[in-house]
Amino acid sequence: MITLYGIKNCDTMQKAFKWLDAKKIRYSFHNYKEAGIDKATLELWLNHFAADKLINTKSTTYRGFTDAEKAGIGNKAKAIISMMNNTSVIKRPVWDLGNGQFFLGWDEEELSKLI
Domain segments of the chain as ranges: 2-114
Q: Tell me which residues are annotated as active site.
A: 10
**What pLDDT was estimated at residue 72?**
87
- CATH level 3 topology of 2-114: Glutaredoxin (3.40.30)
* % of the chain residues with pLDDT over 70: 100
35-70 pLDDT, tens digit per residue, is: 999 999 999 999 999 998 999 999 999 999 999 889
d(CA 17, CA 84): 24
For 17-52, b where at least 16 C-beta lie within 10 A, e where not — what string? beebeeeeeebebbbbeeeebeeebbeebbeebebe
The reported pLDDT for the residue numbered 47 is 95
Cα 84 from Cα 96, distance rounded (Å): 18
